[in-house]
């Protein structure tokens, strides 16, 4: 039986794969498991969601599940994922639950759990929660049943936290922010203005159905045009739950998570805050990031794909910066998870403090042509076990030598195998990726 938890919580088609019944059971099991590890007091849970329509239904189920297990619930409403993580710590809660499918399309939804302090759960705790779905339970009754209340100042708390973490006023910065009609629609424009920037917000009118719809960090085409039309210094695009961001320079060119990390790494190294002059990135990061960091005396430690693995390395080794090419960037001094708003604030603060354009700052890294092909498969395991796939990968690697690389990995949330090829030329990378994608498709 496949593991219920993926790389970032439990996701699926809302009301089909991810039902209210499952949400209720997951929440109740999570409360029991996390409280079992610290049963010294009555547990408190923070619950937030993104604005997709199914979140209303799933929030009700999650709240009921937590309260049925004896947890007092603090609802924070529509809020970015990193805000929920922050509020778990700020409110001294034992559990955090975020209902979101992040960058996935509107019909999907997901449930992410945070432990005390706002940290993502380790695999063994997720396994305990999953096992608890079928375990017998004794429910509290009477006064022991959990109570539910709303945190009216949740957004204000989060915004003040972000402003404290921003090292320089953003006066003089004009930014277009694409909120993906998601959880950042209120928070992002408000905090960027509070930090001193002139803000034009687009896709900031969520109606429950338009989240991530041809907008946001996965679809920044609108942002490219808006930045140029408004004569802005940059653009920022968030995903549906705002735990990531990508940027656009004044000419409308994409600045991805690797380039953002390069800019922030140099800023932290300059201020003496980059622990051991080390950056943590995943195996998906562009070879150009490694080359740029090496040129500046910065070591890059790589992890498996997924911000949770970046987080584990940051916590285990005490490093100060890590992230993913997709725009999940983690600054552990200020956040326990990827925070797209914090990332954008720090990026704009670097522009403001140096007086340099985003294009100039990002120019420290030359991004090698990289092609990513998502191949729909029936069985991800069959692809991993295929000698034909291994032989094809070996052949391409031999052709590229030291000037490129190949990476195949299964999606953690979908029936996909991602084929990534980097090469000195775009057409070389595309041809190799298409060739490998054909082999993957044929064996699945």
Kindly state the helix (H) or strand (E) to which residue 286 belongs, with its residue range. none
Q: Residues annotated in the binding site for Mg(2+), as ranges?
A: 102, 239, 241, 243
Q: Residues annotated in the binding site, as ranges?
A: 102, 239, 241, 243
Closest CA to 346 of 164, 224, 119, 82: 164
233 to 135, 172, 358, 443: CA distances (angstroms): 55, 9, 8, 47
Read off the tokens for 18.
């991810």
Sign of CA dihedral 90, 36, 11, 3: positive
Read off the tokens for 83.
């805000």
Classified as helix, coil or strand, 237 is: strand
Catalytic residue among 54, 100, 102, 184: 102
Q: Could you confirm whether 25 is annotated as catalytic?
A: no
Maximum CA extent, the chain: 69
Residues forming the active site: 102
């Amino acid at each position: 039986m496949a593991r219920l938890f993926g790389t970032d919580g439990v996701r699926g088609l809302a009301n089909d794969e991810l039902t209210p019944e499952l949400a209720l059971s997951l929440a109740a099991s999570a409360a029991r498991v996390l409280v079992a590890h610290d049963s010294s007091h009555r547990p408190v849970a923070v619950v937030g969601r993104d604005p997709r329509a199914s979140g209303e239904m799933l929030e009700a189920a999650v709240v009921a599940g937590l309260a049925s297990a004896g947890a007092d619930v603090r609802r924070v409403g529509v809020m970015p994922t990193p805000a929920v993580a922050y509020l778990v710590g700020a409110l001294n809660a034992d559990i955090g639950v975020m209902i979101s499918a992040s960058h996935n399309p509107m019909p999907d939804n997901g449930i992410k759990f945070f432990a005390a302090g706002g940290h993502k759960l380790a695999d063994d705790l997720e396994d305990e929660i999953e096992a608890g779905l079928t375990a017998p339970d004794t429910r509290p009754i009477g006064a022991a049943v959990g109570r539910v209340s709303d945190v009216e100042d949740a957004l204000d708390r989060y915004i003040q936290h972000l402003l404290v973490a921003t090292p320089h006023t953003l006066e003089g910065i004009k930014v277009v922010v694409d909120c993906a009609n998601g959880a950042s629609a209120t928070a992002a424009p408000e905090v960027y203005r509070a930090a001193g920037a002139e803000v034009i917000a687009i896709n900031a009118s969520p109606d429950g159905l338009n989240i991530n719809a041809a907008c946001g960090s996965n679809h920044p085409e609108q942002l490219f045009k808006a930045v140029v039309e408004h004569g802005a210094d940059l653009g920022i695009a968030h995903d549906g739950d705002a735990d990531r961001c990508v940027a656009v320079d004044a000419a409308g060119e994409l600045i991805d998570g690797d380039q953002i990390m390069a800019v922030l790494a140099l800023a932290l190294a300059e201020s003496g805050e980059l622990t051991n002059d080390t950056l943590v990135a995943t195996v998906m990061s562009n070879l150009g990031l490694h080359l740029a960091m090496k040129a500046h005396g910065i070591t890059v430690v790589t992890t498996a794909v997924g911000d949770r693995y970046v987080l584990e390395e940051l916590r285990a080794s005490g490093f100060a910066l890590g992230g993913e090419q997709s725009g999940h960037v983690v600054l552990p001094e200020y956040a326990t998870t990827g925070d797209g708003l914090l990332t954008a604030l720090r990026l704009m603060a670097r522009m403001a403090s140096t007086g340099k354009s985003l294009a100039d700052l990002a120019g420290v890294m030359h991004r090698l042509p990289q092609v990513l092909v998502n191949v729909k498969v029936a069985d991800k395991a069959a692809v991993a076990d295929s000698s034909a796939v291994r032989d094809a990968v070996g052949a391409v690697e031999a052709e590229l030598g030291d000037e490129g690389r190949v990476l195949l990995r299964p999606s953690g949330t979908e029936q996909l195998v991602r084929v990534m090829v980097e090469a000195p030329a775009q057409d070389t990378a595309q041809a190799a990726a298409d060739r490998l994608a054909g082999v993957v498709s044929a064996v699945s």
